[in-house]
Amino acid sequence: MQEQIDRLERDITLLSRALAFPETPSLATRVRSRIELERRRPAPASTWQLAVTAIAAAAVALAFVAGVFSPARDAVADLFDRINIFETAEVPTDLTREISGTQVSLDEAKARLGLPLLLPGDAATVEPDRVLLQDFHSVKAAVLFYRHSDGTPYALFETNAPVGKGLPIAGKGVLSSSQAHSVRGLGDEAYWLTGLRIVQYYDSSGAVIRDSVRATEANTLLWSANGRVFRIEGNLMQGEAIAIAKSLR
């Protein structure tokens, strides 16, 4: 147990440098207290408590990748209901940046996702280069790999995750305003993300899905439309990504 606590403290030290939170004394003690508090039904949290909880949850998520544990999410500020993306200056060396999944056909991806797949009109080819299905039980995503008309590769994520809480900007602990920009005129809610980030999904109980955790520094367009969540990752300009998103049919 002491080894787990020590590992958690190291992760917290790393993340406290990466995330935009106000300085706080004895953070490890606060985190241990918060974890202990999770065993009981918590009272409504203050704004400061939510900030501490967000750091703890992010640290625990990385610890879980290293094989420690992952408690249920509590009031973590996330982009959409089951997708959490947060800014970081560095990541553990063993955390993958690869997009994982099972290679499938378009038809199989559509059937297993249980939703129609939207395809881009502005692509070098009608058919994607390949299709992956990310099956995290209650959360699924079809990943379609395309090339822009200028040859730039990108990945289009179409998930079954419902629309959730929206994006907190600077001061709420996930992404700084320099790395997250609201995009108007696209879907119901849209954001342009840059810089190094960690992406992870939550299951229906609020626990981090271990296999979903990865790092990326690819430019990302994230948006919701008609109750669904979409994401484009790639070395595209913002205008190019928006044009692709608007061309989906």
The answer to whether residues 60 and 175 belong to one domain is no
Kindly state whether residues 148 and 206 are assigned to the same domain: yes
Q: Does the pTM of the predicted model rise above 0.85?
A: no
- Roughly what angle, to the nearest 10 degrees, separates helices 27-38 and 47-65? 90
Q: Please indicate, yes or no, whether residues 124 and 224 belong to a single structural domain of this protein.
A: yes
Residues 70 and 139 grouped into a single domain: no
Return all residues near 213 (Cβ < 8 A) that are at least 6 apart. Answer: 61, 62, 64, 65, 95, 198, 199, 200
| H, E, C per residue of 167-210 | CCCCCCCCCCCCCEEECCCCCCEEEEECCCEEEEEECCCCEECH
- Whether 97 is covered by a domain: the verdict is no
The pLDDT assigned to 148 comes to 92
pLDDT, one tens digit for every residue, the chain (249 residues) = 555 555 555 555 544 444 444 444 444 455 445 444 444 444 444 443 433 344 444 444 444 343 322 322 322 234 455 677 777 788 888 899 999 999 999 999 999 999 999 999 876 667 899 999 999 888 899 999 999 988 999 999 998 876 544 443 333 334 455 577 889 999 988 889 998 888 888 777 778 888 889 999 999 999 988 888 899 999 999 999 999 999 999
Q: Do 62 and 157 reside in the same domain of the chain? A: no
Q: Looking at the structure, tell me whether residues 70 and 119 fall in a common domain.
A: no
Q: Say whether both 119 and 203 belong to one domain.
A: yes
Q: Are residues 59 and 110 in the same domain?
A: no
